[in-house]
Amino acid sequence: MKLVNKLLMAGAVLALAACNDPSGLGGSDGASAGAGVIGTGLPSDPTSVAYFQQAVGDRVLFAVDQSTISTQNQTVLDGQAQWLKANSDFNAVIEGHADEQGTREYNLALGARRANAVREYLISRGVAADRLKTVSYGKERPIEICSEEACYERNRRAVTVLSSGLTG
Amino acid sequence: MIRILTGLLIAAALFPASLMAQDGPLRIEITEGVIEPLPFAVPGFVPDTPEAADTARQLTQVIAADLTGTGLFREIPSSAYISQITDFAAPVQYADWKAVNAQALITGAVGVSGGKLTVRFRVYDVFSGAELGNGLQFAGGIDGWRRMAHKVADAVYSRITGEGGYFDSRVVFVSESGPKNDRRKRLAIMDYDGANVQYLTDSSSIVLAPRFSPTGDRVLYTSYESGFPRIYVLDVGNVKRRVLQQTDGTMSFAPRFAPDGRTVLFSLEQGGNTDLYALEIASGRQTRLTNAPSIETAPSFSPDGKRIVFESDRSGSPQLYVMRASGGEANRISFGQGRYGTPVWSPRGDLIAFTKQNKGRFHIGVMRVDGSEERLLTASFLDEGPTWAPNGRVIMFTRETQGEGGRASLYSVDITGRNLKPVRTPDGSSDPSWSPLQN
């Protein structure tokens, strides 16, 4: 029953979510990877995608060339794991990204390392492995576009993008 | 004597470099780095009939642009001429061309009849007062006039430098549009000089790093069409594509053909770790070449197919390594300061081009295959992804500008670091791959 309600709601906001995302937080940063992309719902609903993105936090950042999960990242990922365990009708694709310093190929591999580090951590916190996929966008999908560390540090990220578990 | 060739495709073989090399003083040694370009004159090719006039004029312009574009030649403007060429068969007045300091003179004639184009040309060493090689004729469809111009220019370049040419070649690349945080990419192909751009895919998903097959008939590339990066192979003739490598839960990227065109090297990522694999296209048989927790990517074969140069961060930072084509132990060849990536073996086998990142700047460079004699050819905010001209004397690469308005475009530079210049494309562009000379 709960799932049905949520999917109906998701359907209702889908059209909005697709074009109305000024925060830069919503949805997938790249092409839709994996199962169906879904609406974000209301941030006040703790079972909504919006809540996951904003209250739990859908992304962690990395140091230059690194894929280590920092203590700060662990807190965010602990929250993600808890949420995913409580909302088992969602799966996730973890998108790894790099900043623009570095070659295209190396950054693809580096983004994969980051995405996988997050996936491993979530699994270690009890999320079922078959609910978590990874993809790397390397330096192809920056969210910040200046060529300074202030932007780079926000681009070196792994984003946990929720997808409906029904088709995943 | 004029040799009549019926096809477009035979000319290069008729002029082996070793013969050209003996043709007197008119000679450029490319490897020494040319500081003073050789002056040449290419008076408008003579149209056989009035209807051939336009084609003759355009063809002459492309020949001149090819030659001057190398940085090795300088065109004497026609306003300086003291005599004209109105009859292709008439004897050349060497004194008139000496007087305007044209060291090389290229004359030609163009015939158009029934959609067919014929081009005849001769090259003269003005100061020796002799013809350089024999006259030559190309024939083909009128649509192929640019290719015929490139063929003529290749022959001239070859006769004067003793090296193979590179003008009758194509480049496959990624055409880019849109802002930096919403970049659209699609595959495109063009002549080496930026003419005749055609699009091979749409921009509905990210496409990266196309690579020509050794005969130029197919292109490998990475696409996010499935939501995950996978390697595709595209037939240039009919623009049909198929996925070449897919294993669920993995990413495949950085593909490159073996010199025989039957095997593909690529990077496969599993569980966050990227290693090198070889895939036999016909059988689908996949062989693992490296097995390390580090990143192994950007592989490129030596032209004899015996060795592979690649990029790895096994030492702690990305560096270049060479190993046998079957895998096994690898020798590090890059030892300078900074990080090295995207190594590409020269078609001549003598050099490896690479991307280098050092102190916040990017460079395209070359080194010998043992890593010695490293030479940086460029420097900018972001230069990457070198590809070799078919003759191994020129490199094309991606240059991206800094900041919010950052835009990627193609540049070329010769292996001495001279003649750095942009390659004109309609939109932003990246990831060039240079074809072999066309047949």
Say whether both B142 and B265 belong to one domain.
Answer: no
| A155–chain B Cβ distance below 8 A for any pair | no
B89: phi then psi, degrees, rounded to nearest 5? -85, -15
Q: How far does Cα B13 stand from its chain's mean position?
A: 19
Gap between the Cα atoms of A70 and A72, Å rounded: 5
The edge-to-edge listing of strands for the beta sheet with B319-324 is: B296-301, B307-312, B319-324, B327-332
The rounded distance, in Å, linking the Cα atoms of A128 and B394 is 52
Asked if pLDDT for residue A10 goes beyond 60, the answer is: no
The residue-averaged pLDDT of A12-28 equals: 37
In contact, B323 and B307? CB cutoff 8 Å: yes
Residue A115 in this model has a pLDDT that exceeds 50: yes
Vertex B293 angle, CA B288 and B299, to 5°: 50
Q: Which of A166, A34, A62, A55 is nearest to A118 (CA)?
A: A62
Q: How confident is the model at residue A25 (pLDDT cuts 50, 70, 90)?
A: very low
Residue with token string 């900041």: B403
Q: Which residues of B396-405 are buried (b: 16+ CB within 10 A; e: fewer)?
A: bbbbbeeeee
Question: Which of B272, B318, B402 is opposite residue A106, by nearest beta carbon?
Answer: B318
Can you say whether residue B162 is alpha, beta or left, with left for phi > 0 and alpha for psi between -120 and 50 degrees?
left
For residue B77, give Cα distances in angstroms to A35, B97, B124.
Answer: 63, 12, 17
B134 lies in the same domain as B194: no
Looking at the structure, do residues B157 and B182 belong to the same domain, yes or no?
A: no
First-to-last CA distance in chain B? 24
Same domain flag for B210 and B123: no
pLDDT tens digits, one per residue of A74-101? 999 999 999 999 999 999 999 999 999 9
Q: Choose the final residue of a domain: B161, B195, B230.
A: B161
Q: Does B199 touch chain A (CB under 8 A)?
A: no
Q: What is the structure's pLDDT at B31?
A: 60
Q: For residue B386, what are the contacts with CB-CB under 8 A and spacing of at least 6?
A: B342, B344, B353, B354, B355, B364, B395, B396, B397
Q: Residue A143 carries which DSSP code?
A: S
What percentage of residues in chain A have a pLDDT greater than 70? 75
Q: Let me know: does B306 contact B260? Beta carbons within 8 Å.
A: no
Nearest CA of chain B to the CA of A90: how many Å? 18
In sequence order, what are the beta bridge partners of B108? B121
Distances (CA, A) of A85 to A81, A134, B194: 6, 18, 54
Q: How many domains does chain B have?
A: 2
The verdict on B8 and B157 lying in the same domain is yes
Contact between B385 and A147 using a beta-carbon 8 Å cutoff:
no
3-state secondary structure of A162: strand
Contacts of B349 (CB under 8 A, 6+ apart): B302, B303, B304, B369
- B268 and B393 in a single domain? The answer is yes
Contacts of A146 in chain B (CB under 8 A): 403-404
Task: Provide the token pair at A50.
Answer: 């919006």
Query: Does B65 share its domain with B25?
Result: yes
Region A36-65 average pLDDT: 89
Phi/psi region, residue A124 (left: phi>0; alpha: psi -120 to 50; beta: rest), is alpha
Q: How far apart are CA A113 and CA A79, in angstroms?
A: 21
How does pLDDT run across B13-68, given as a tens digit for each residue? 333 333 333 345 677 666 665 578 999 999 999 999 999 999 999 999 999 999 99
CB B178, CB B186: distance < 8 Å: no
Q: Is A25 in CB contact (< 8 Å) with chain B?
A: no
**A145 to chain B: closest CA residue:** B404
Environment class of B7 (CB within 10 Å of its CB; exposed 0-12, middle 13-18, buried 19+): exposed
Q: Are residues B123 and B12 in the same domain?
A: yes
B18 & B40 share domain: yes
Mutate to test the interface with A, among B176, B251, B407 (most CBs of A within 10 A): B251
- Judging contacts by C-beta atoms under 8 Å, the chain A residues touching residue B272 are 67, 112-113, 115-117, 119-120, 134
Residue B93's domain comprises 2-161
AA letter at A48: S
- CA dihedral over B63, B69, B72, B74, signed as positive or negative: positive
Domain final residue pick, B138, B161, B184: B161
CATH at residue A101: 3.30.1330.60
Angle at the Cα of B436 (from B435 to B439), degrees rounded to 5?
A: 115
Q: What range defines the domain where residue A105 resides?
A: 2-164
Q: Find residues 369-408 of chain B whose CB sits inside 8 Å of chain A.
A: 381-382, 384-385, 400, 402-404, 406
| Single-letter amino acid, residue B430 | S
* Nearby residues of B50 by Cβ (< 8 Å), 6 or more positions away: none
H helix or E strand, kind and range, residue A20:
none
Do B253 and A134 lie within an 8 Å CB cutoff?
Answer: no
Q: Which of B161, B196, B218 delimits the end of a domain?
A: B161
pLDDT at A37: 53
Say what the pLDDT of residue B438 is. 93
pLDDT recorded at residue B44? 97
Least CA distance to A132: which residue of chain B? B249
> Residue B113 is which amino acid?
S
Beta strand A157-164 pairing with A132-138: unpaired
State the best of A23, A97, A103, A107 to mutate against chain B, taking most chain B CBs within 10 Å: A103
pLDDT beneath 70, residues of chain B? 1-25, 28-34
CATH number, residue B386: 2.120.10.30
For B17, half-sphere exposure in the C-beta direction (CA atoms, 13 angstrom radius) is: 12
Q: Is residue B439 part of a domain?
A: no
If DSSP codes are grouped into helix, strand and coil, which group holds residue A65?
A: coil
**What is the ipTM, given to two decimal places?**
0.90
Nearest Cα neighbor of B264 from B292, B286, B242 is: B286
Contact A116 B318 (CB under 8 A): no
Structure confidence at residue B232 (pLDDT): 97
Q: What is the CATH number of the domain that holds B30?
A: 3.40.50.10070
User: Are both B209 and B299 inside the same structural domain?
Assistant: yes
Task: Calculate mean pLDDT across residues A120-130.
Answer: 98
How many domains are there within chain A? 1
Q: What is the pLDDT of residue B387?
A: 98
Q: Is the dihedral of CA B315, B318, B324, B327 positive or negative?
A: positive
The verdict on B141 and B182 lying in the same domain is no
Please state, in angstroms and rounded to a whole number, the distance separating the CA atoms of residues B151 and B439: 10
